[in-house]
Each structure stands twice: as C-alpha cells, then as structure tokens.
Amino acid sequence: MSQSSARLTLPFIQAAQAQKHVTHNEAVRALDMLVQLSFEDDAQTAPPASPSEGQCYVIPNGASGDWIGQDGAIAAFLDGLWQFHTPRIGWRGYVVARAVMVVFDGTDWQELTPSQIQSANLFGLGMNADPSVPFAARLNAALWSALYNGDGGTGSLIQTLNRENGTSDVGLILQDDFQTRALIGLFGDSKLRFSVSPDGNAFNDALCIDQATGIADQPRLPRFKAHTNYDNYVGVGTWTKLGINVAENNDQACFGPSTNCFTAPLDGTYLLGASLMYKTNGNAGARMQGRLVLNGTTAIPGTTSEASGTHNSETTTLPLQTLSPLSAGDTIELQGNFRAFDGYMKADETCFWGTKIG
C-alpha cells in the first residue's frame, strides 16, 4: 500500500504506526495550504525576511536562500520552517501581489488570460451564466476600445455578429426588465430591421432596409391614398364633404372609407394632398373649388384653391397639397364647392392622399 495520496501526496497513517497524530496533522497542514490556494507573490526569488505563519509563495526561476533548488515549487511557511510542494498539472491559485489567477501547466505557472480560458463553456460576470446564455454580464457600463497604432494595433474597432444562414437570426435585442421591447438586425431574412414590441410577443417593423437595393421602407408609417367611386354632386356656394370611399393604400388603417376621413394615429407632421376633377352638370361656366378641412370645421390654411379658367368636363383638375402638424385623433376631410354654376367631382379621378413625414 502507498504511503501517500496520489494527487496531493498527503501522508497516510500506516498500520501499527506510532504517534499517528503526527502523520494526521501533517496531512491536515498540507490540505490547509493546498486547498483554495493563495500566494503572496510569484515573482520573489528570495524568501521574505520575516514571513508570517501560513504564507505561501510560488517560487520563480533563479531562487536563492532557503528556496535554492525549488524553482516552480510551492513554498509554505509553517512552524518557523519552509515546506515545499511540487505542483501538479491544473493546480490553480490566486496571486495577491498581482491580483491574478495562475495555473500550473506541468512545466510553469501561467497567468489565466483569455487565451487560457478561450474554451470555457460558461462565463458569468457579476451574474450566473447558463447553457442557454453561456456569456452573461451584470454591470452598469461597458467599453470596447480599439487597439491604437502606438500600441501595436490598427486604431480601428470592428465588431462582427455572424449567423449560420439567411434564415437564421442575428442582431441586438433591447429589453425592459428582461421583456423584449426592440430588435435591430437580420431576422429570418437579409433585410435590416428595426422593430419594436409592446409586449415581447408581437413586433412592429418601424424600418426595413432591402439588402439588394439599399432602399429603406417604413412599413408601419401612416399613409394612404383613396378615391371616390361615384360622381359627387356639389352645389353652388355650398362646401360639401366629398365621398372618398375607396382606399387604394391604407397603412395602419388610418383612412376610413366609411367616414371619408383620414385620422392621424400619432402626433406629427403630415404631407397631405388631393386632386379634384370637374364633371359638368350642363354649364361649363362653373368655378371649381377645393380645400382640406381639420376636424370637420376648420379649413387648413393654404389649402383652399380654385380653378378659375374655362372648365372642360372630365379634364379640368384642381390639385391641393400642404404640410400640416396634427395631433393624434385629428381628422382631415376633402371638401369641394362651385361658384356660379353647380357640377360634379368626377368618380375615380377625384382622390385624397397623405403620409406622416415627421
């Protein structure tokens, strides 16, 4: 039977051994030193002049004094004497003088730098990592800095996020108390998406950039174009709400075909426009007028316009266009009027459109 343990070389109590407590205490002392290793220093070649009981050192090459011939060993000061232990591959300890961890590679003590822990399965900084999130950090600030030219770098900093293929996801997830509120990246295809979510389940794309053309689209932008599908009769001197009842485009359902109104879903600046086409009711001397009206009562300044020349039925057109600040819930409608003689606003050609621009 061996007289010491295979890994830490702890002495065994032998059969019929006298003074067994001596052997036992020697093993306890060794355990006290080797378990949870902590070194005062690993660069000191000579023993300290006044060591404290229990202090440990990693002895570097070129040792002197009581450490001669112990290069690479662990020295522990116990009972007024230096005791030495030969490290095994994988032993680790904390070096107090440099505030670093070191590991014995079978030949030398090596500092645990990123190159030595690159194959770690989990890495948690301030919190626990787990297999689903193998790198996790809990902190209030983080900085990535380029390696400058003067330090041997290029002065640039490039961060790369890579996915397996064009149907996988790669991007940034922004959360509120671990509830996802925004996504930035490539999700399911190769368009660059900026998406937001009210609940972490349903997502709205605010901006999509096509990878082939570079063209940016705002799929959730309030915008519409609508027209009337019947000739709207308008009398003389009577401003009349036109029956714009067919929505050709209606993102965010911001236009109501049944109410013939656009309703602003958000505060902002809107670009609004319309086109009115004249159709005679027997006299081409009519004077066609149009305007955009806020909340059914107030004409938007600068939108009231008139086609005052000779009218040609189903040809004469009156365009309107304006920028207007609107509040959420404001409605805009298209109104028409005739001076001198009545007439119609022609079906299919009389239209109304708008979009949010700011």
Gap between the Cα atoms of 23 and 34, Å rounded: 17
Domain for residue 31, yes or no?
A: no
pLDDT confidence tier of residue 310, bands split at 50, 70 and 90: confident
Gap between the Cα atoms of 49 and 173, Å rounded: 57
Domain boundary among the residues 182, 217, 252 is at 217
Range of the domain at 60: 36-111
> Could you tell me which residue, 242 or 117, shows the higher pLDDT?
242
CATH code of 299's domain: 2.60.120.40
Instruction: Say whether both 66 and 91 belong to one domain.
Output: yes
Instruction: Say whether both 266 and 177 belong to one domain.
Output: no
Structurally, how many domains does the chain consist of?
3
Gap between the Cα atoms of 186 and 279, Å rounded: 51
Range in 2-16, 106-120, 135-149 the model is least confident about: 2-16
158 CB-near residues (< 8 Å, 6+ apart): none
How much is the average pLDDT of 37-43?
A: 89
Instruction: Say whether both 210 and 330 belong to one domain.
Output: no
Q: Exposure of 6 by Cβ count < 10 A (0-12 exposed, 13-18 middle, 19+ buried)?
A: exposed
pLDDT tens-digit map of 244-293: 999 999 999 999 999 999 999 999 999 999 999 999 998 888 999 999 99
Instruction: Say whether both 192 and 230 belong to one domain.
Output: no
Domain for residue 145, yes or no?
A: no
Is 23 a residue whose pLDDT tops 60?
Answer: no
Instruction: Say whether both 254 and 192 belong to one domain.
Output: no
